[in-house]
């Protein structure tokens, strides 16, 4: 689906999937004025197609737009764009009863051609989709996570809280460094002191303690406000786990892993939903969490959240939105 803005959004029609023609001087190529979102659509047992909390993605796209000096798309137009595209792609939505989904990628970029540094007046917004298999086709696999001392993902006052392409460009080298150390993922620390944990390259991070608390870094402006993060904090509250959003230094985390105070840790985001963390590695050493496997509370929260998304667990909070 394609929309353009010049003086207010126009278009909104579904067009065939095809290359986009842009001037080599289009602002997005030079100044990275681009933002995006990521959601999944699931088929339920009765054949209908649903997505999860898209209003949260609409609001985040609006916040990202403000930060990147792009025009905001209303929640109503955002939801209409998802309905239009997913209705057109309905045959591609996988069968009900599993974690297979149709991944939805809305994105907005500056298409105006000019070479000066200013916000563009001409902007395009598209939605594309792709069928996505289960994140863990062979059962949930705990992550080995490298703690990056060299790089930060985003700085205070920067674009960390926005979902913009540039943030992902800046996290690629950290991911490469992680792979060189045999790790699956990278954990970024805050850019100012390099002591407190921020998030992974595409997931938020949480810890569960022996005394039944669930801890996650507070939203500092350098962390992406994950829809999954918010949903897990709510499900945790429902279960009587006491959630706390707080600054967590990596030293504090490793001490509490070593003492057994932290019993489970996991990463969370739309793609994996919840991915247990089995081990942290850094220049200073390595720390195995619990027995290095998938924690019981982690797996229960994952079951519940994936169940709500797939329509097999009651949607107590009214999180589902019908698309087709």
The residues in 252-271 that bind ligand PMP, with binding defined as CB under 6 A, are 269-270
- Least spacing, CB of residue 60 vs ligand PMP, in Å: 7
The residues in 96-115 that bind ligand PMP, with binding defined as CB under 6 A, are none
Helix (H) / strand (E) element for 304: namely helix 296-310
- CA–CA distance, 208 with 300 (Å, rounded to integer): 12
> Closer CB to ligand PMP, residue 38 or residue 158?
38
Q: Give me the DSSP letters along 202-249.
A: S-EEEEEETTSEEEE----SSS---HHHHHHHHHHHHTT-EEEE---B
> Closer CB to ligand PMP, residue 167 or residue 256?
167
> Closer CB to ligand PMP, residue 110 or residue 274?
274
| CA proximity to 238, closest of 315, 142, 323 | 315
| CA proximity to 236, closest of 261, 259, 266 | 266
- Least spacing, CB of residue 13 vs ligand PMP, in Å: 27
- Least spacing, CB of residue 225 vs ligand PMP, in Å: 8
Whole-Å CA distances, 111 to 19, 26, 66, 193 = 14, 5, 17, 37
- Least spacing, CB of residue 203 vs ligand PMP, in Å: 5
Q: Supply 163's token pair.
A: 């979902």
The residues in 13-42 that bind ligand PMP, with binding defined as CB under 6 A, are 38
Instruction: Give the residues across from 209 on adjacent strands.
Output: 262
Instruction: Give the residues across from 257 on adjacent strands.
Output: none
> Closer CB to ligand PMP, residue 28 or residue 274?
274
Phi, psi angle pair for 75, to nearest 5° = -60, -40
- Least spacing, CB of residue 53 vs ligand PMP, in Å: 9
> Closer CB to ligand PMP, residue 120 or residue 280?
280
Number of residues that bind ligand PMP (CB under 6 A): 12
> Closer CB to ligand PMP, residue 43 or residue 60?
60
- Least spacing, CB of residue 228 vs ligand PMP, in Å: 3
- Least spacing, CB of residue 191 vs ligand PMP, in Å: 14
- Least spacing, CB of residue 79 vs ligand PMP, in Å: 16
- CA–CA distance, 129 with 313 (Å, rounded to integer): 25
CA angle 169, 171, 174 (to 5 degrees): 135
Binding string, 168-197, against ligand PMP, x = CB under 6 A?
------------------------------
Phi-psi region of 207 (alpha: psi -120 to 50; beta: other; left: phi over 0): beta
> Closer CB to ligand PMP, residue 26 or residue 305?
305
3-state SS string for 1-52:
CEEEECCCEEEEECCCCCCCCCCCCEHHHHHCCEEECCEEEEECCCCCEEEE
The residues in 193-252 that bind ligand PMP, with binding defined as CB under 6 A, are 199, 202-204, 224, 226-229
> Closer CB to ligand PMP, residue 175 or residue 229?
229
> Closer CB to ligand PMP, residue 38 or residue 243?
38
Q: Supply 15's token pair.
A: 């067009």
- Least spacing, CB of residue 132 vs ligand PMP, in Å: 13
* Angle between the N-to-C axes of helices 54-67 and 227-238, in degrees from 0 to 180, rounded to the nearest 10: 140
Contacts with ligand PMP, residue ranges (CB under 6 A): 38, 199, 202-204, 224, 226-229, 269-270
């Amino acid at each position: 689906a394609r929309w353009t803005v010049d003086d207010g959004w126009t278009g909104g029609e579904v067009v065939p999937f095809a290359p986009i023609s842009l001037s080599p001087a289009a602002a997005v190529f030079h100044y990275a004025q681009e933002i995006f979102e990521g959601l999944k659509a699931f088929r339920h047992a009765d054949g209908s197609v649903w997505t999860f909390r898209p209003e949260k993605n609409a609001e985040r796209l609006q916040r990202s737009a403000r930060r990147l000096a792009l025009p905001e798309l209303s929640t109503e137009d955002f939801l209409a764009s998802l309905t239009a595209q997913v209705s057109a792609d309905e045959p591609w939505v996988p069968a009900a009863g599993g974690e297979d989904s149709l991944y939805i990628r809305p994105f907005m970029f500056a298409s105006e051609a000019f070479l000066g540094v200013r916000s563009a007046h001409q902007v395009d917004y598209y939605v594309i989709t792709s069928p996505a298999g289960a994140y863990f086709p062979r059962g949930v696999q705990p992550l080995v996570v490298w703690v990056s001392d060299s790089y930060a993902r985003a700085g205070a006052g920067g674009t960390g809280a926005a979902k913009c392409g540039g943030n992902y460009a800046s996290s690629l080298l950290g991911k490469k460094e992680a792979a060189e150390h045999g790790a699956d993922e990278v954990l970024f620390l805050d850019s100012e002191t390099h002591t407190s944990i921020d998030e992974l390259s595409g997931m938020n991070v949480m810890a569960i303690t022996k005394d039944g608390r669930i801890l996650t870094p507070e939203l500092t402006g350098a962390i992406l406000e994950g829809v999954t993060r918010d949903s897990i904090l709510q499900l945790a509250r429902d279960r009587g786990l006491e959630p706390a959003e707080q600054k967590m230094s990596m030293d504090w985390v490793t001490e509490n892993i070593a003492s057994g105070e932290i019993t489970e840790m996991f990463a969370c985001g739309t793609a994996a939903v919840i991915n247990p963390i089995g081990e942290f590695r850094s220049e200073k050493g390595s720390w195995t969490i619990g027995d290095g496997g998938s924690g019981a509370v982690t797996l229960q929260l994952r079951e519940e959240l994936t169940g709500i998304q797939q329509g097999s667990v009651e949607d107590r909070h009214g999180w589902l939105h019908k698309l087709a």
